[in-house]
Every structure is written in C-alpha cells, then in structure tokens.
A and B are shown apart, each in its own frame.
Chain A
Amino acid sequence: SQQGEEDPQALSIQEGENATMNCSYKTSINNLQWYRQNSGRGLVHLILIRSNEREKHSGRLRVTLDTSKKSSSLLITASRAADTASYFCVSSDSNYQLIWGAGTKLIIKP
C-alpha cells in the first residue's frame, strides 16, 4: 500500500525537551491523524486535523498541517518518559483510504 514519509525515523531527547516529528504525504487528503504505538501494544489515536485546518492543540500536543507542502508536524512539549513510543501519521484520501507513514521512534531519556 502507498506509504507517506516521516522524519526523523528515530529521535532521542532528554526528558523535558520538546519533540518534533514531521510527516509528508503525496495525495490530496480529507484529514490527517497521528497515532502512538507503545512497544508491543496497539495503536492509540492522538489527534485528527482536517484539511481546512492549519493547527490543532490537544494537551501537550500541537499538530500543524500545510496542504501546499503536503506536510504535517507533531510537536510534543515538555516530554516525559511515558512519551517513549513510535508515532505514525495517517492521511485519509477522498475514498477514506488510510495511508500510513513509516513512523518515528521517539525515545525520551530520563
């Protein structure tokens, strides 16, 4: 299946720092979502941003969307050890098909 691209592939930061992950996609989208996956567990939905939105906040999460560049970013502020996980962006096209990025592995060092 078609995949979006995420960068970086892996990110290691100190607890308390901010973490930024980026995602690019190729087709026109209805919306874009970010998911988190803890090691060996299922996927947890974090936030959804619609194609007509530019920025969205949820707690310590901030998501931006630039449809002209076909890119999105996820910012986690004041990171915690519990934020250690893999983060995936998922874009949804007009047929509601979900297109996944390869994911960013985030490690928060205590």
Chain B
Amino acid sequence: DAGVIQSPRHEVTEMGQEVTLRCKPISGHDYLFWYRQTMMRGLELLIYFNNNVPIDDSGMPEDRFSAKMPNASFSTLKIQPSEPRDSAVYFCASSRPHRGSTEAFFGQGTRLTVV
C-alpha cells in the first residue's frame, strides 16, 4: 500500500481564496483524522471520521472550515475564505483499530501558506 496520500504537498494562496486539501486513506482503514500543526499551537485534531461519518468536529476552528468524506477512499478539508492565520501544515491520518491497537498512519502533510 502507498500509505496515506495527501495533495497538494504545498499550497500558496491569497487571503480570501478557497483552499481544498485532499486525502486518500489507506485502503481498509475506517478512521480518518485531519490535524493542523503550527509552531504556536502544536498538533491539533480538527475532525475525525469513522466509516465516512464525522464523529467529532469540535476541533474545527471556525465555520470557514469544512470537511467531507464522500466515500471510504477520499476526504477533503476546505477553507473558505482562507486567512493568513490558517497558514500551517495540515496532516491527514487513517487507522483501523484492531485488538486494542490504534496505530495511526500519517500522510506527508500539506503545507499551506496564505498571504
């Protein structure tokens, strides 16, 4: 398996523009997580899905952020409109809890810069 695949790897956009981040989880994994990492706040959980259903979105900072998982192999995180303070690295991770193990596999991240 190729692992968790995120795209794009880097995104530079102007304030006010819509940004869409994409994630392909590992096949067979039924949990998908979106994280944001900044120097100031470290790693924050934004939202996670189980079997394509959003379970906890309490980490989503504002209504400008939305996430979808239309099927088991694809998820998007959208920011509309984007702001400079959204600049961060966004990680997607997937896992398949099994016999108490919850090892999460991470993508390489998308580095977002909003200017």
Which residues of A pack against B, CB within 8 Å?
1, 3, 30-31, 33, 35, 40-45, 48, 50-51, 88, 90, 92, 96-98, 100, 102-103
Contacts and interface: CB of A to CB of B under 8 A. Distances in A.
A45 B105 contact: yes
Nearest to A50: B100
B97 interface: yes
B107 interface: yes
B31 A96 contact: yes
A97 B58 CA distance: 12
Contact of B106 (A43, A50, A102): A43
A73 B33 CA distance: 25
A30 B100 contact: yes
Contacts of A1: 44-45, 58-59
Contacts of B109: 41-42
Contact of B100 (A31, A41, A88): A31
Nearest to A99: B45
26 contacts: A1-B44, A1-B45, A31-B101, A33-B102, A33-B103, A35-B106, A41-B108, A42-B91, A42-B108, A42-B109, A45-B103, A45-B105, A88-B43, A90-B104, A96-B31, A96-B97, A97-B45, A97-B48, A97-B56, A98-B45, A98-B102, A98-B104, A100-B42, A100-B43, A102-B42, A103-B42
Contacts of B44: 1
A92 B42 contact: no
B42 A3 contact: yes
Nearest to A29: B102
Nearest to A51: B100
Interface string B72-115: 00000000000000000001010101001111111111010000
Contacts of B105: 45
Given A1-B44, A1-B59, A100-B43, 14 more contacts: A1-B58, A30-B100, A31-B101, A33-B103, A40-B111, A41-B108, A42-B108, A42-B109, A43-B91, A44-B106, A50-B101, A90-B104, A97-B56, A102-B42
